[in-house]
């Protein structure tokens, strides 16, 4: 077994390092198999390094840089420093063992994002959930979960929301289908609390819109998704899709463009933020 790399939740820096190493190998004209044969690095490990599933140990990274002919000391130091920073998970470290791997990856990326464009068809976006609603959503979605599991997930969800309260807060544009407003998650009292909080969520860095029933069929009907963009231009946008079949990350440019277009169509179909807040309050007022 090759021990030159260890598994960890991906971070933006690890994703960037993986892209840099893929680019260097491609530029060198070598296949993974050839690199493996010439360096002794297991080909499966090399694949995991290039797909941001593991962080290479320093000796492995140095061997790859040597093989790819990276001789500039500043460039080598830059990539080595990037590798060192790739393990920084912050508060998420305490919840890593309690969360599904792909969800942990999503939170890690979200924590470093500049902005998130989120469409939800079934529930209020996690970044805008109140505690009682979050607890009801998690308990309902995972009926076999014990109380400790539910509480750990609720804690993690609420900690995510700190990104909206930072001095330089995350920019969130959230669009929900009107069905989200009417589904009685946790009962009328919980829904009233959640909807009133959602109606009041508007801030300079937070936009909330609702796609009303009257629109009919729309591009968001196949399911929810989130598009993340990052402060550094070197980190391309990332699409996250959460489904019953599993979580999926998309980073190919055609996929990013496709979901960006879908989001623009949803934004155009949705009520404007003022009318959206008015509708949310109307629905909340009927909760008894």
**Contact at 8 Å (CB) between 116 and 228?**
yes
Superfamily of domain 5-85 in CATH is: lambda repressor-like DNA-binding domains (1.10.260.40)
Whole-number pLDDT of residue 15: 74
Q: What is the pLDDT of residues 199-210, one digit of tens each?
A: 999 899 999 999
Whole-number pLDDT of residue 102: 67
Whole-number pLDDT of residue 17: 78
Mean pLDDT in consecutive groups of 10 residues from the start of the chain, 288 residues? 45 73 88 89 86 82 89 84 64 53 76 93 97 95 87 91 94 98 96 97 96 97 93 82 77 91 98 98 92
**Contact at 8 Å (CB) between 137 and 157?**
no
Token code pair at residue 249: 């990350």
d(CA 213, CA 179): 8
Q: Which of 170, 163, 174, 169 is nearest to 208 (CA)?
A: 174
Question: The whole model's pTM is what?
Answer: 0.75
What are the CA-CA distances from residue 6 to residues 48, 52, 54, 120, 277 (Å)? 10, 11, 5, 34, 47
Q: What is the pLDDT of residues 136-158, one digit of tens each?
A: 999 998 888 889 889 988 998 99
Token code pair at residue 127: 């970044």
Domain segments of the chain as ranges? 5-85, 90-285
Would 5-85 and 90-285 be classified into the same CATH topology?
no
Whole-number pLDDT of residue 3: 38
What are the CA-CA distances from residue 256 to residues 113, 184, 236 (Å)? 15, 33, 9
What class is the 90-285 domain? Answer: alpha beta
């Amino acid at each position: 077994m090759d021990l030159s790399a260890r598994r960890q939740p991906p971070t933006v820096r690890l994703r960037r390092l993986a892209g840099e190493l893929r680019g260097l190998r491609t530029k060198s004209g070598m296949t993974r198999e050839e690199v493996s044969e010439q360096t002794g690095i297991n080909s499966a490990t090399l694949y995991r390094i290039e797909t941001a599933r593991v962080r290479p140990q320093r000796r492995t990274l140095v061997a790859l840089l040597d093989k790819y002919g990276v001789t500039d000391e500043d460039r080598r130091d830059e990539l080595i420093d990037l590798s060192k920073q790739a393990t920084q998970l912050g508060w998420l470290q305490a919840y890593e063992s309690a969360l599904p791997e792909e969800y942990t990856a999503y939170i890690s990326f979200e924590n470093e994002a500049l902005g998130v464009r989120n469409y939800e068809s079934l529930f209020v976006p996690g970044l805008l959930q109140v505690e009682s609603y979050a607890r009801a959503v998690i308990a309902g979605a995972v009926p076999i979960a014990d109380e400790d599991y539910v509480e750990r997930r609720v804690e993690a969800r609420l900690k995510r929301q700190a990104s909206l309260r930072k001095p330089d807060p995350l920019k969130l544009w959230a669009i929900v289908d009107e069905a989200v407003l009417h589904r009685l998650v946790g009962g009328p009292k919980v829904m009233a609390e959640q909807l009133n909080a959602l109606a009041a969520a508007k801030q300079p860095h937070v936009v909330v819109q609702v796609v009303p029933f009257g629109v009919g069929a729309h591009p968001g009907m196949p399911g929810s998704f989130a598009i993340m963009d990052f402060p550094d231009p070197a980190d391309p946008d990332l699409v996250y899709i959460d489904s019953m079949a599993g979580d999926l990350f998309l980073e190919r440019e055609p996929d990013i463009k496709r979901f960006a277009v879908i989001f623009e169509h949803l934004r155009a179909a949705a009520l404007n933020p003022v009318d959206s807040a008015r509708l949310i309050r109307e629905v909340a007022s009927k909760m008894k």
